[in-house]
Structure 1
């Protein structure tokens, strides 16, 4: 069982006092070499490290906080998470003063490109909280690699009312390190490339009409996203119904995660009811990890179950990827390229409130990091040079701008494609700017 020698088991310090958990831990500890702990930033590490020793072999329990939280994540609809530099540094100093070690989570913030943002839930799965595209985390090294912030680089010490004042993580590490620290790097250079004019290329429903029937799944009842072989993106469900002059009541008991229902113009006898479902991010912690997406229940119209569904998979990952499920991607990509080949892009159509593709171009004379501002847009995803830079939702906030690293760009002409789910900016314009922005929040915003 030598392979178990590299196994390290993490436990939450605050759970160690719960008897059933400790019993389970006692059973598991025979299979590990070192047991580490993690706990809330600011907690007193002494009793937690002492308890850690009880579950490790004598002399083999170096005090280790396996996840020292330098900040926290943010969900859509919340204010951007922020923790004080001095508070965080003081908490790290307590650990290092005990000859302990800590793994900084996060040392470097990041970005949930594509559809790889996660989600959390509260006490039940209805309390669903998807993460932002940005995973900046208020970390000492920001999403874009910047270190010009108090949490990273301040390093002044001095007695203040008989208390040592510690002002940054770098300062704490320097104080407890026998070796000299490397010099502080400069921030990455950012550029704003100005306004980007877009044109509506095609609505989602126009694209659907062009799909080969072989790409459509037919089922008596709605099926999940996983059942059609898809893990991320969107599904379009369509079922017919007998139209009524006075209208009808639609009820979908269980849908993950967000549905938009559209009513097509009825024919002589029947109308159509397309339902567009978005996977907004998979739950990655807690008791609801079995997180299927799509319509997960029967659909009721005036109390009767709707039958005979057609289901179309719309993955929309990176537009340059070859996917197993690709009818929409192929059509969308060809239409986008056709639009981008135009010599002049102008807004010639009225803005409509329906899912649609918008495309535009912008010039780059020198490739630097940038951010795309989606002020005035609704909700959707964006692609720069066929790379999925993530989700935008400025009406809910707090994230207004999406980060675009320099390697995504190219010298000369660059392409931007937006898949807008709701209502686009009235002027069909976005802006390339040189800074992040987490101040978007509508007073009437909702997760629905």
Structure 2
């Protein structure tokens, strides 16, 4: 099992960095339709038969400051092998009544990277934000505020059909509603989720996730869902929950099944577990609470492009996971150094005073008060390996660079606090000789 799970995760990384392509299409405005729109790009990509699953068409955005595409009608179904890349200034795809974000047809390989998909509202349909029958990869996406109603509706945020496979990494599925099963996600195919957060969704059964087939979750956080957290109806697939948190569900257990079933679980941290559930695995903890794990923390920008829920320093999730299957970074882009935490978020202790305090003159910060972007110049006095972090006044890590190599001469870098509220933040540069602290004031 460990080899299979690691292979899945590493395969996704290899695909991201080595992907060939057929034809490139560019979205250059936020219009619903017409020249340069997302709708036009999808229509053109669907019509070009040169794509393969190994060399898909690429749709990219080039829109200054990002923004929202408000759909007047559902986008064309993705009926070809297509990769859709968002951009640093985030793009939101907003649906409406009778309008969902994306529909992926069977037999098609699709990758969606760094988009917010929201506000789909459908009746007697499957998947308010995304409905998938193909081979879908989601990376750094947020699926939020979608709504499915009606007796035959399932999957408020995402629906995965029996022919579908979804590989989801570093995503957040939140605040979606289904009047039937699967408030956040309903799965009838193969669903693999890594480093992701499923929170604040509402469904009749499986407020977070309802799965009728294979489900693998690695370092995920499932919390505050109404209608239960993870609900499984025993079928032909395997359910494996590894390094995963599921606590704080309302109107249902945090992990439960429709009938007696054995679930693979290792290093899990759970609240209430249904009586019909048997765990096959070690180092699982039950009976935990949302307040013990997260305190009063809620979904927030803790770094990275998707929101996460920070765990407490005293959380039972801290240092109690296993590194064997864990990704190197958490969902917020922070290092999982030392002992691994359970869940999507890795607690980051603030450096202690055992480091030598270096002169602030080694680093110069140039600010643009209007947009919260700070340019910093790392001076010649810092050489070799170093890293930098930005923390708020409560000690929460907002940005974490990881190790950076530097030779002679100055080096220019940038810190973007545009998504943060006004206030003072601390920049901490850690070198082999000590640390440099600088205050960043966002006006």
Q: TM-score, normalised by structure 2?
A: 0.29
Q: TM-score, normalised by structure 1?
A: 0.29
Is the helix fraction higher in 1 or 2? 1
Is the strand fraction higher in 1 or 2? 2
The structure whose RCO (Cα within 8 Å, separation 6+) is larger is 1
Structure (1 or 2) with the larger CA radius of gyration: 1
